[in-house]
C-alpha cells in the first residue's frame, strides 16, 4: 500500500478476497498476472475463460489492434485471439507473466507496479480509444490492481 500511496493512488478501499464463480461470471474482462491465475479462474468458472487473459498477452495485442467504435468486448476479444485454447496456459512462457510480488521485498512490488502501469496504458489505448464511453465502471476495490479480481483465487498450491 505504501508504494501505491507514493505513486498517488489510494488503495485504502481495496480488500483482497477469494475469487468466486459469481464474481467471475459477472465480469466483462478478467485480467491475470500469471498463468496460474488464468487456470484457477477457469477452474472456478469454466465459462469465464473467454474473458480471462494474462495482462501481458492482452495489452500488446489490444494496443496493436484497438477496439472499433461500438465493438463489444464479446466480439473483440475472440477476434484478437481466434485460436486461443485452455491448454496454452499449462506451459506459458514466463515473459508473459507479471511476477507476483506477494510476500517479497519492496523491489519486487516496484517491478510489478512498473510492468502493470505499462500494460494498463496499452490496454486503455486498445480497449477504450474511440469508444463512446470510457468502458465498464470499475469498483473502487479493483482500481489499484489490474488483476484484483483474481488476486486471491484461493489457497496457494505447494
Question: What CATH number does the domain containing 45 carry?
Answer: 3.40.50
The pLDDT assigned to 10 comes to: 86
pLDDT in tens, 68-111: 998 999 999 999 999 999 988 888 778 899 988 888 998 999 99
The pLDDT assigned to 26 comes to: 94
- Domain extent, residue 65, equals 2-150
Distance, CA of 149 to CA of 151 (rounded, Å): 6
Q: Which of 33, 81, 43 is nearest to 73 (CA)?
A: 81
Evaluate whether residue 39 is within a structural domain. Answer: yes
28 pLDDT more than 50: yes
Answer for the pair 87, 147: CB distance below 8 angstroms, yes or no: no
Distance, CA of 73 to CA of 29 (rounded, Å): 8
Cα-Cα-Cα-Cα torsion 136, 65, 35, 90, nearest 10 degrees, comes to 130
Answer for the pair 73, 29: CB distance below 8 angstroms, yes or no: yes
Evaluate whether residue 88 is within a structural domain. Answer: yes
The pLDDT assigned to 149 comes to: 40
Answer for the pair 131, 67: CB distance below 8 angstroms, yes or no: yes
Evaluate whether residue 127 is within a structural domain. Answer: yes
Evaluate whether residue 158 is within a structural domain. Answer: no
Locate 127 and state its grid cell: 480497449
Evaluate whether residue 138 is within a structural domain. Answer: yes
Evaluate whether residue 156 is within a structural domain. Answer: no
Distance, CA of 101 to CA of 98 (rounded, Å): 9
Evaluate whether residue 119 is within a structural domain. Answer: yes
DSSP 32: E
Number of structural domains found in the chain: 1
Predicted TM-score of the model (pTM): 0.77
Distance, CA of 66 to CA of 129 (rounded, Å): 7
Amino acid at each position: 500500500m505504501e508504494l501505491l500511496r507514493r505513486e498517488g493512488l489510494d488503495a485504502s478501499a481495496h480488500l483482497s478476497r477469494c475469487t468466486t464463480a459469481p464474481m467471475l461470471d459477472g465480469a466483462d474482462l478478467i485480467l491475470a498476472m500469471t498463468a496460474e491465475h488464468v487456470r484457477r479462474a477457469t477452474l472456478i468458472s469454466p465459462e469465464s475463460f473467454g474473458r480471462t487473459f494474462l495482462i501481458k498477452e492482452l495489452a500488446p495485442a489490444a494496443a496493436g489492434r484497438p477496439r472499433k467504435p461500438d465493438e463489444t468486448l464479446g466480439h473483440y476479444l475472440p477476434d484478437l485471439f481466434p485460436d486461443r485454447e485452455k491448454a496454452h496456459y499449462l506451459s506459458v512462457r514466463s515473459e508473459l507473466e507479471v511476477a507476483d510480488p506477494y510476500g517479497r521485498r519492496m523491489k519486487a512490488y516496484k517491478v510489478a507496479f512498473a510492468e502493470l502501469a505499462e500494460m494498463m496504458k496499452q490496454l486503455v489505448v486498445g480497449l477504450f480509444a474511440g469508444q463512446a464511453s470510457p468502458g465498464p465502471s470499475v469498483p473502487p476495490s479493483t482500481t489499484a490492481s489490474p488483476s484484483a479480481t483474481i488476486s486471491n483465487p484461493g489457497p496457494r498450491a505447494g
